[in-house]
Amino acid sequence: MIQFQTFAHLADIDLGEAVSKPTAVEGNPMEAAQALWTSPDGKVEIGVWECTPGRFTTRRDGNSETCHIISGRISLHEEGGRTQEVRPGEVLVLANGWRGEWTIHEKTRKLYIIHHEG
């Protein structure tokens, strides 16, 4: 059976109350997220995430993440030194094993797709 599901405009989805980002290294970034869909086997999750300015560490261990930036501006700092700025409308992929930091320059909202490995 084929299933089809639509969602409200991503900029308008209520994400609930924001909480402190536990891996913050600078500032006090506050994040909120809402899962929109999870595959029946639990290996894929699609959702919307938002975060206020600050800097935090991220590790993609056991999963990869594709992100479409809806609003805001970020810089990704890869372990090893590479930095890339990402703006609204752009897509980024963090492969399984990626490690680094995010700097949120202004409140940012993204659509995310997480693929759990194995």
Condensed to tens digits (0 to 9), the pLDDT of residues 104-115 reads 999 999 999 999
The distance from CA 32 to its chain's CA centroid, rounded to whole angstroms, is: 10
Q: For 13-28, how does the pLDDT look when each residue is reduced to its tens digit (9 = 90+)?
A: 999 999 999 999 999 9
User: Could you tell me the two tokens for 53?
Assistant: 């300015």
pTM: 0.92
User: Could you tell me the two tokens for 116?
Assistant: 């759990």
Report which of 27, 104, 21 is spatially closest to residue 69, judged by C-alpha positions.
Answer: 104
